Structure 1
Amino acid sequence: MDKIKIQNLEVFANHGVFPEENVLGQKFIVSAALYTDTRAAGKTDNLTASIHYGEVSQFIDHFLKEHTYKLLERIAESLAEALLLQTSGLEKIQLEIKKPWAPVGLPLETVSVEIERGWHTAYIALGSNMGDKEQYLNQAVKSLNEASCCKVAKVSSFLVTPPYGVTDQDDFLNACLELRTLLTPRELLDELHRIEKEAGRERIIHWGPRTLDLDIIFYDDLILHEEDFCIPHVEVQKRDFVLKPLHEIAPYKHHPCSHKTVREMLEELV
């Protein structure tokens, strides 16, 4: 991906662990690599088709002067998030915050924190078989779209399906959505659990009735296996009630393990 670089922008701001740093202030040096697609700007010579590095520089200056943090890590994390949320076309950012006047009592040139943050694409399966099922799914979509660092990009139609696992229960209403997020997989899982809890979800019977069920099916092309958490979802290839709505919005998404597309996995179930 293309990138626009801002190198060694100097900002005088009030950050630091010691109280006098917050009062007197000091110099910080910021460098940023902005990952974006510059093709349209390169072909048209139109500034609005790219990221305005002057506006980004002004934003960085204003942000560092407007806030006060103790740690360089907090400055970098907060600034990267703010830039990704407000800068159209910015897919990823590499950000370095240098502190040349660090009060360590020893001669040094600078200390710094460097991070890389960016947008991720996750696919979420939604299900409900209690109460007003459609309302639960609609509210889940709304809650995810309003959640910090999340943007719902696509939503499938809602599909009525028979219960899976424990069959002595009401039919489900299922859907899938595509989510753009800055959250890590674990942070996203916590957010899904929060939304489920708001909907009155109780985890009593495995595969039992539920007001709302939210599962991460894919997260970019990540393969993650932890004791209590797996991505991709371990049974996605077996579940037509996931693959059918997912096929509506991402038919050519590849499973990172089998490398089969959603369409291929669905055809194998028919």
Structure 2
Amino acid sequence: MDRIHIRGLHVETIIGVHAWERQLKRPLLFDLDLGVDAREAAASDRVRDAVDYAAVAEAVTRLAEAEQPALLETLAERIARRLFSEFPIQTLRLVLSKPGAVAGAKSVGIEIERRREDYAVCGR
């Protein structure tokens, strides 16, 4: 399987469980690894046969700005579902970091791994 990656995608949004966190936008950083079959795109040299990196980044940004959930876990799962519904990817590894969320730590976050099959069961 081939992999496309996007590293350090920076999005400013409201996220958090505490009232003070819901007052101002905070930075989030996204690292994505998308499992794809790149052979058709490599042969044709046409973006229409590839996963458009800019479109993936835009989808992540739009969702993160619009959803504004309390938990990083919720945002990560919603992004995974959206990417599988909009793009021809087979696997996803998503690392979502929230810099400055815990005193003394550079960042906190979550890492999830999903496969297309994860969303084909029981109508999920």
TM-score by structure 2 length?
0.93
2:82 corresponding residue in structure 1: 82
Of structures 1 and 2, the one with the larger relative CO (CA 8 A, separation 6+) is 2
Separation of aligned partners in 2, 1:85 and 1:93: 12
* Counterpart residue identity of residue 110, structure 2: V
SS of residue matched to 1:64:
helix
* Counterpart residue identity of residue 41, structure 1: A
CA offsets, 1:144-171, max 9 Å, x none?
xxxxx4xxxxxxxxxxxxxxxxxxxxxx
Q: Is the 8 A contact 1:26 1:101 kept in 2?
A: no
Separation of aligned partners in 2, 1:109 and 1:23: 21
2:72 corresponding residue in structure 1: 72
* Counterpart residue identity of residue 38, structure 2: T
Deviation, 1:17, is 0.7
Deviation, 1:2, is 0.5
2:107 corresponding residue in structure 1: 110
Deviation, 1:23, is 2.1
Q: Does 1:16 align with 2:16?
A: yes
CA offsets, 1:11-35, max 9 Å, x none?
0000101122122120000010011
1:95 corresponding residue in structure 2: 94
1:238-253 equivalence runs, <5 A? none
2:2 corresponding residue in structure 1: 2
* Counterpart residue identity of residue 93, structure 1: L
1:139-158 equivalence runs, <5 A? 149=119
Runs of 4+ residues over 6 Å off in structure 1: none
SS of residue matched to 1:16:
coil
Separation of aligned partners in 2, 1:66 and 1:101: 22
1:210 corresponding residue in structure 2: none
CA offsets, 1:17-76, max 9 Å, x none?
112212212000001001111001111111111100001101111110001111111111
Q: Is the 8 A contact 1:97 1:113 kept in 2?
A: yes
TM-score by structure 1 length?
0.44
Please list every run of 5 or more consecutive structure 1 residues that lacks an aligned counterpart in the other structure: 122-148, 150-180, 192-270
Q: Is the 8 A contact 1:94 1:115 kept in 2?
A: yes
CA offsets, 1:196-254, max 9 Å, x none?
xxxxxxxxxxxxxxxxxxxxxxxxxxxxxxxxxxxxxxxxxxxxxxxxxxxxxxxxxxx
Deviation, 1:6, is 0.2
Please list every run of 5 or more consecutive structure 2 residues that lacks an aligned counterpart in the other structure: none
Q: Which has the larger radius of gyration?
A: 1
Quote the RMSD (CA, aligned, Å).
1.4
Q: Is the 8 A contact 1:31 1:95 kept in 2?
A: yes
Deviation, 1:99, is 0.4
